Amino acid sequence: MSFGMAPLFSITITCYNYARFMPRCLEAIKRQSFKDYEVILCDDCSTDDTVAVVNKFIEDNPGMDITLLVNENNLGVLGTRNRLLDNSKGKYIMFCDSDDWMDDNCLEVLARYAQDDPDRIIAQFRDVDQDGKVVQVQDLPANPNKWICGVHHGSVYKRQIFTDHNIKFECKYPDDVYINVLFHKYCGKVSFAHETIFNWYVHTDSQSRTPKADSPWIGHRLLESASSYIVPVMNDLGDERDYLELMYIKIYCLSIYSVQGLPLKILLSEYDQCRKIMRQNDPDYLTNRFLKRSSESPMRKYATKIVRMTALFEKMHLIKPALIGYFLVSKVHYFDL
């Protein structure tokens, strides 16, 4: 532990009514073989016994550097992340949710890559459902690129870049892609760890897969939000433009397929609106070089297949029949880009 001095890692955890998950999350940190870290949790006005569970863990583990912050008012997950960011002091910061957990060697692996002083370290992680089943492993391709790595799971960031450039979480969606696009504008070296070291808890049951029709996380609302911060950066890039454009195309597909669980009429309507947004902001997106089967994709295999298949159906003017097929299959199969 690093009481009184800056640790290598600040592990930040947002908490809201997840008392039942806290022991798994915290015990996994306790088991880490690498010990140079601090843990900062922030409870966002939970109505269950989350605070009591965390305080009991702190009491039982006096040798761990753990701080619990409690919001006076509900700030939401993004406001809570900003508070955690402001209160951390490690060289690298990790953003965690209280229902996710580390493998026992997670920090050891990240610390090994940190020896080269990169601005970000990105590792592989698993999607694990409510039954404990590994839905998929989000593996890294042979030659990844920072612009297409938009999630924070199993990843650490050099905290100084956030402070030097006043980078904060905002209500931009997907919020993890937003923070990564901002961060990547200023970061240089990124290290990729082709090791699976983290577990992302995902809900695949039918009830939680049915979004609200007006959710900012689905359809054209999601794509409009992503367009507002991706397109300006994308158009300023030189040789790496194709990489961020590929991320933009991926979010375009995500915006369409995230409607799973809603009526077919809404799915087809959302596709039409999303297609219009793409044509306005990036009319030549179907010419992206990574959409060609002969190219080496910087995305993982699963995402590459979905994105390329969607582009192919659009080029062949068969996207509507394909979406109808997707609508039927999604009722029994979990999809995640």
* One domain for residues 130 and 89: yes
Tell me how far apart the alpha carbons of residues 328 and 321 are, in angstroms, rounded to a whole number.
Answer: 11
Specify whether 79 is located in the same domain as 156. Answer: yes
Q: Are residues 124 and 256 in the same domain?
A: no
Distance CA 198, CA 131 (A): 17
Quickly count: other Cβ atoms within 10 Å of residue 90's Cβ.
21
Q: What is the mean pLDDT of residues 60-83?
A: 97
* pLDDT computed for residue 5 by the predictor: 82
Tens digits of residue pLDDT in 179-197: 999 999 999 999 999 999 9
Residues 240 and 127 in one domain: no
Read off the pLDDT of residues 106-150 as tens digits, 9 standing for 90 and up: 999 999 999 999 999 999 999 999 999 999 999 999 999 999 999
Q: Which of 271, 144, 258 is nearest to 212 (CA)?
A: 258
pLDDT band (50, 70, 90) for residue 208: very low
Co-location of 61 and 110 in the same domain = yes
Identify the pLDDT of residue 206. Answer: 46
Residues 173 and 225 in one domain: no
Whether residues 186 and 275 share a domain: the answer is no
Three-state DSSP state, 87: helix
Q: State mean pLDDT over 64-74.
A: 97
pLDDT of residue 333: 64
Tokens describing residue 240 = 């790496």
- Is 198 within 8 Å of 102 (Cβ atoms)? yes
The answer on pLDDT for 276 being more than 70 is yes
Residues 70 and 187 in one domain: yes
Q: What percent of the chain has pLDDT over 90?
A: 86
Residue 279 is encoded by which pair of tokens? 């044509």
Determine phi and psi for 2, rounding to 5 degrees: -130, 50
The predicted structure's pLDDT at residue 2: 52
Q: Are residues 94 and 226 in the same domain?
A: no
206 assigned to some structural domain: no
199: which 2 tokens?
């577990």
Q: Is position 279 within any domain?
A: yes
- Can you tell me the mean pLDDT for 257-284? 93
Q: What is the residue-averaged pLDDT of the chain?
A: 93
Q: Can you tell me the mean pLDDT for 194-209?
A: 78
Question: How many structural domains are present in the chain?
Answer: 2
The DSSP code for 31 is T
pLDDT of residue 207: 44
- pLDDT of 233: 97
Q: pLDDT band at 73, cuts 50/70/90?
A: very high
Residue 335 lies in a domain: no
Within a domain: 1: no
Q: Residue 111: inside a domain, yes or no?
A: yes
- Asked if 163 and 240 sit in the same domain, the reply is no
Is 13 within 8 Å of 68 (Cβ atoms)? no
Q: Are residues 311 and 271 in the same domain?
A: yes
Residue 66 lies in a domain: yes
Task: Please compute the mean of the pLDDT values over residues 271-300 and round it to a whole number.
Answer: 96
Residue spans of beta strands (DSSP E) within the chain: 9-15, 37-43, 66-70, 92-97, 101-102, 120-128, 134-138, 155-158, 190-201
Quick check: is 110 in a domain?
yes
Same-domain check for residues 227 and 194: no
* 145 occurs within a structural domain: yes
Query: Left if phi > 0, otherwise alpha if psi is -120 to 50, otherwise beta: which for 12?
Result: beta
pLDDT in tens, 152-179: 999 999 999 999 999 999 999 999 999 9
CATH number at residue 47: 3.90.550.10
* Structural domain of 228: 219-329
